[in-house]
Structure 1
Amino acid sequence: MIFLPRMALKNLFRYGRRTLITSTAIAIGIMAFIIVDSLLKGINDDSERNLIWYETGSAAFFNPEYWGDKDYLPLDRPVKESQSLIENLRSRNIEASPRIDFGGDLILYKDPFPEDGNLQVHLTAIDVDHDSDVFKIKSNVARGRYLEAGEDGLLMGQWLAKDLGAEVGYDVTVVTRTSGGYFQTLDLTIVGILESDNPVVNRYGMYLPLDTARYALDMEDMATGIYISLPRGSAETKTLAELAPLAEELDLSLLDWRVMGADFISLAETKESGSSIILFLVFLIAAVGISNTLLMSIFERVRELGMMRALGMKDGSIRALFLMEAAGIGLLGSFGGVALGGLINIPLVNKGIDYSQIMEQGDMGYRISGIMYGTWDFSTFVTAFFIGIFMAVLVAWLPTRRALKLEIPDCLRF
């Protein structure tokens, strides 16, 4: 029982160069798998978090007829008496804040903008005092200042501002319609430029005070949605279940972030399938390199295999010896790959990779504005470690089986 493992260990050192080359190929494959998996999971985690922090909150209350036509930004299907609902939620220790989403035509004049023009825009009216209880907009003001209640002020995403040539202090005009369908004009001054982790905010974001929008749009105490913040995990599910009767009592719809972000979730799931293919290809490429090295190793030792058979060693013992050697190579490669993957993952998690220039030029669908961070998933390290060993053993089994089919004289003449 001890003879075969000891002999396999000696062979690993006897063929040290070959062992080093093969284990290095395995290590590179394991390392690549860990890095790619870390980045893909990190992007997905950051995207979900930024979706909640900047767009959906944990969940929101809507008029039952609103969500089906949400893309048209209707104002005639609001949540009425929104303040009483918010007070009810806060009495349950749930942070809540109203918002009004509406569309308009942004009018720009050559002075001070580079040229005259107009643009269809999506505006969001926020509760200046309480929006930060649910969302992160307030902490993302890069230039200028945050909004003040009652002012004709506007916050604008930095990429949108850059495209328009807008700066803090510039005046803009927005032509929109009230909840009753009448045309209304809002003259707003840009008071702050936003630099957010969410590209949607940077590319399209325009925010104004809730009370200013309510007065202009004839919305009184109404809002298009009441957004809430909940802890992630089982507590979120439990709280949503407890709030369902309240929504039914008030004849409102309660939607969580997964429903509101269904387009993103669908895209993420599609990309996850594509990511799995990428990871498979990474391993496939590594397997080709490993198999080539192991095939050469085993076929170069066919004469040695024939000698062992001539001396009376059974085929099962020979097969076990070669597979033990392959497992040893896989073990060394897996250790090296996990170690290298962990070391490279440290800066990926702490500093990330800056793709801000690429993100600004095109929409990849993810909710990250430029820096891609990795993440720690120790199940991936464990999986990669054992797959490296299994792959080495599997690749060695096939040529060993073929070599054992040769007659002893053929082996000695090989």
Structure 2
Amino acid sequence: MKFVDLLRTAIGNTFRSKARTVLTVIAIFIGAFTLTLTSGVGTGVNDYIDKTVAGFGDQKSIYVQKVEEQTAPQDDGPREYDPEESSIQTGFGSTSGLNNDDIETIRNIDGVTSVDPMYMVAPTYLETSDDKKFQLSLGMPSDAEGVQLEAGEVPARESDEMLVPASWVADLGFDSNEAAVGETVDVVMTNMAGEDKAFEVTISGVSQASLAGTSLTPMPSSSLNEKLYDYQSSGSPRDVPDTYFMAVANVENIDDAGRIKSQLADENMMGMTVEDQLGMFRAVINAIVWILNSFAIIALLAAGFGIVNTLLMSVQERTREIGLMKALGMSGGKVFGLFSLEAIFIGFLGSAIGAALGVVTGSIISSVLSNGLLEGLPGLNLFLFDPVKTVLIILSVMVIAFLAGTIPAMRAARQDPINALRYE
């Protein structure tokens, strides 16, 4: 009997006991359906994280901040004042900032090609052309490639431009994202003498919101950020030293990041790559996917026992038939192959139907959520299916079905034809 004949016979035998087969297929279907959906969630969210990583900053850069120097306990007494230490006022109090010596230290680390310091700028307010005023906090300069945009483009490095979030467009009085591009607003700064000055800023583009929380505030060009800081620190009767809340260290090879971060730590500075900052999202998502996958695997193992039970009962019911086949010259190996093919076919039915329905269901849910609950995160497809992974799920389930069918198949292959023909 050729393989094609074995396969045709196996498929026909599968439907001899339709009730048992259907129940076993349903058990496999549940596991494959769940695995497909969880795989889709993992692929979709990780794809979105990859897009966010690209938009959050340059992946070949290390973002450096000052770390409070650890000092010996002082019985809860006051900390001694250090005039050389820079500090920055934030909404959570005062924190150490980087000074020019720190920038030079970073620049001298082997593997660092250049350093872009970032100033802490605190505008007084933003004013539109129709005299509306809004509180304004500026995010990091938006020179990094990969920022996700709704309209327009990233500000030119040497321009007086900035990005505004899509959620700001209507409040600023613009009819659409496209209508906001090219328009101007005034950013009003107050210097150390209490004098206000308005800076005319062009809106170069409208940014999307992201999982990392970026693009939720306006993002200036580097030149504009520096210009605003210069005015902010002017008007004082004494010289104000340059203070930076962060510096971007551009490196030749991101593989050297570990060594560079270690050297920064020796200088009481902390370095983080984009992947470091967003890696926790990936870790959490992957952990959730693995937990959900474990439930699917349990369902598949239960289905495996169903296959064992189905085929054992089939072997028992077809004992005389097996004896007749062996008496007519069918080898034990072909009998084993016949029952193994039955198990594989049952696994294929359940996994193929489960995977197909999982892809359809996930695609529908993703579309509904993208236009509803997740509308604020453009570009996020909660379920994104990789054809290769879907095929691997089907093949994996078929392997499990084959392994589950080996016990009944071996029992059938070992049947003695004389005793089998006498079986009542």
Report whether the alignment pairs 1:226 with 2:247.
Answer: yes
Q: Number of aligned pairs?
A: 370
The one-letter amino acid paired with 1:304 is: R
Match of 2:151 among 142, 149, 153: 142
The one-letter amino acid paired with 2:97 is: R
| Correspondence for 2:119 | 100
Give 5+ residue unaligned stretches, structure 1. Answer: none
CA 1:92–1:361: 2 relative to 1, 3 Å: same
| Correspondence for 2:344 | 328
Give the TM-score of the pair, scaled to structure 1: 0.61
CA distance in structure 1 between the partners assigned to 2:256 and 2:317 by the alignment: 68
Structure showing greater Rg: 2
Match of 2:219 among 195, 206, 209: 206
Q: 3-state SS of the aligned residue for 1:370? A: coil
CA distance in structure 1 between the partners assigned to 2:49 and 2:95 by the alignment: 29
C-alpha RMSD over aligned residues:
5.7
Q: More helix by proportion, 1 or 2?
A: 1
Question: CA contact under 8 A between 2:337 and 2:409: conserved in structure 1?
Answer: no
Match of 1:161 among 161, 165, 169: 169
Per the TM alignment, residue 109 of structure 1 is displaced from its structure 2 partner at its CA by: 6.9
Give the TM-score of the pair, scaled to structure 2: 0.60
Question: CA contact under 8 A between 2:89 and 2:95: conserved in structure 1?
Answer: no
CA distance in structure 2 between the partners assigned to 1:238 and 1:143 by the alignment: 35
CA distance in structure 2 between the partners assigned to 1:272 and 1:398 by the alignment: 37
Question: CA contact under 8 A between 1:291 and 1:395: conserved in structure 2?
Answer: no
Per the TM alignment, residue 274 of structure 1 is displaced from its structure 2 partner at its CA by: 2.0
The one-letter amino acid paired with 1:143 is: G
The one-letter amino acid paired with 1:97 is: D
Per the TM alignment, residue 47 of structure 1 is displaced from its structure 2 partner at its CA by: 0.8
Question: CA contact under 8 A between 1:82 and 1:222: conserved in structure 2?
Answer: no
Per the TM alignment, residue 77 of structure 1 is displaced from its structure 2 partner at its CA by: 1.6
CA distance in structure 2 between the partners assigned to 1:279 and 1:67 by the alignment: 48
CA distance in structure 2 between the partners assigned to 1:77 and 1:201 by the alignment: 22
Per the TM alignment, residue 278 of structure 1 is displaced from its structure 2 partner at its CA by: 3.1
Question: CA contact under 8 A between 2:261 and 2:270: conserved in structure 1?
Answer: no
CA distance in structure 1 between the partners assigned to 2:51 and 2:91 by the alignment: 22
Per the TM alignment, residue 273 of structure 1 is displaced from its structure 2 partner at its CA by: 2.3
Q: 3-state SS of the aligned residue for 1:329? A: helix
Report whether the alignment pairs 1:254 with 2:274.
Answer: no
CA distance in structure 2 between the partners assigned to 1:147 and 1:193 by the alignment: 11
Per the TM alignment, residue 43 of structure 1 is displaced from its structure 2 partner at its CA by: 2.3
Question: CA contact under 8 A between 2:115 and 2:247: conserved in structure 1?
Answer: yes
| Correspondence for 2:400 | 390
| Correspondence for 1:217 | 232
The one-letter amino acid paired with 1:12 is: A
Question: CA contact under 8 A between 2:163 and 2:204: conserved in structure 1?
Answer: yes
Q: 3-state SS of the aligned residue for 1:211? A: helix
The one-letter amino acid paired with 2:245 is: T
Per the TM alignment, residue 46 of structure 1 is displaced from its structure 2 partner at its CA by: 3.7
CA distance in structure 2 between the partners assigned to 1:171 and 1:187 by the alignment: 9
Alignment of 1:50-129 (within 5 A): 50-51=52-53, 53-55=55-57, 57=59, 58-65=61-68, 72=92, 77-80=97-100, 84=104, 88=108, 92=111, 94=113, 96-102=115-121, 106=125, 111=130, 118-119=134-135, 121-124=136-139, 126=141
CA distance in structure 2 between the partners assigned to 1:67 and 1:288 by the alignment: 61
Question: CA contact under 8 A between 2:65 and 2:247: conserved in structure 1?
Answer: yes
